[in-house]
Structure 1
Amino acid sequence: MKDLRHVLQPMSFTTIFTTSCYSGVWLVRPDINQQQLNTTAIAAAGEDNESSSWAVSGSAGRASRSLAASAVLRCLIDAEDETQERTEHPTYIEFSKSVYDCVKEMGALGNSQQIYFSAENDEWERVTSLASVPPSPSSTSGPEPAKTGGRRLKRLKYLAEEYFAAKPSLNEAAPNISLHNYLRSVLNGATYPKEEVDSLTETTAYRLGAMYEADYLREQIGLKFPSIFGIETPLAQIENQSRNPRLYKQTWTLLLEREFCTTPIGIRLHFPKPTQYLTIALVESSTSWETI
């Protein structure tokens, strides 16, 4: 955020749209002298949850982009059509509400998606005033996968089966899209170069190890709560349905700031389930913030 504030000149008109996980924290809990960014922004995730995409397409073999991005595009098109039929200029708050309502209508995932908005003022510039940037050229053909076989691929398949059995959270959650797609392809018989197999193995082993570490910590604390390997951890959904969502946010922040979740193999990769699990376990097993 410091780098971003340095780049943005005073009185510059800037619009930020980010679909990254936890991006809502930029707007609701800034880290620059407790000052908010003075810019128009849409953050497609809350301060303690991941962003979501459409389900992975079987025909395309990949995810079909962000739920929030789809909603923004749809609302921009609708707003452009409506503007031509009326004289008053649309406001940013109207546009923001349209995006929020649109995402909520996109099934179960949309209803749990958290979106945050921030504005310099309520005057919304027409998207047609923005500079047009042509798409970058891309190659449809990638490198031919090398036949790996042998012990490396067998070990990865074993880890993938154990990993999916542990309910690692939704395929559509942003941190999972790429890894889950690769692992399901491997289980279906796909082969990849040795370096790719080694990287997938390291990431999968790390995630499994992180879940074992979280389960061990829960046992050591003495929490009477189900094992991490037997439950889903939809933190945003549980938090939204809770009578005390603030307690979930406090606990989540505490675990992150104290780096409570230990790493299994000397590296630290992004995997939210262990922290989500311990947050839920602590809140559900405690009666107050003081107890936690």
Structure 2
Amino acid sequence: MNPGRPGAVDPLPSWNPGRAKSVLLDFVARVTDQSGADFVPPADRVATFDNDGTLWCEYPLQVQVFFLVDRVKALRDADPSVGDRQPFKALLEHDAATLHSLGKQGLMELFAATHAGMSEEEFGRVAHDFLATAKHPKLGTLFSENVYRPQVELLKFLRGNGFRTFIVTGGGIEFVRAISEQRYGVMRDEVVGSNDKLQFEIVDGKAQVKKLGELNSFDDREAKPANIALHIGRRPILAFGNSDGDLAMLRYALGGEGPRLALLLHHDDAEREFAYDREFHLSPLAEALDKADAYGIVLTSMKTDWAEVF
């Protein structure tokens, strides 16, 4: 595919003309040109994307936090005293200050604890049911509908040019897998994320894997490159993130030989979505924003570079 040829269909119609779109189109053209010096074999065309804030809306809280609240409500229904204990009380009251004080890892640990004893299949059903009905408190739309149209186009464009697209997220791996195929076209086995300790067991003659209620790996910051190496086995040539939690992944992608591209989405569109960066304590954007140029990262403005958001 050569999107630059006269009369060609624009593969990224929701992207406005500008540096980010031009760099993406040029990069894909170069790495797929077998006669060019920057040609990359399909096996090495690995692209990694963060999820929260990069592929779908994460503000004012990540979707998985709302899912956690839903789970705590179920626990409270079974045991009313749960609602009087912290941090469950803060979750039920949407106490942002207390939630932010826990940090993203603390919330993931709590998430793991509240799903202890579930099998993979049970958890998948609960996550699917939540995403099929739960709505964003400000946008009023289903959480599962708040995916970014430009990114869905980009994922499809990359796969159409021989890339393998992976999601590398600080969110729970099973939770993201519940939505990844339907909304992004990213297969379940192409999702790398935070994960719980699991245990194989046979119950009533049925073999299953059960969640133990303890966080095994928190896939954020420096853990992202480590888990890419562990689970994917190839350094990405393209990486896309939106926060300091993604910076290590972006720099890891840029650190290899040959053509490389890293992009950073800046949430600067208060009219169509939300405007935030440094002050979002659960997933701040500060160092990556300040040093994008120095690190060779292409800053992408939601307000300027995207013709559409959802």
The structure whose RCO (Cα within 8 Å, separation 6+) is larger is 2
Give the structure with higher Rg (CA): 1
Pick the structure with more strand per residue.
2
Same fold, TM exceeding 0.5?
no
TM-score bracket relative to the smaller structure: under 0.3
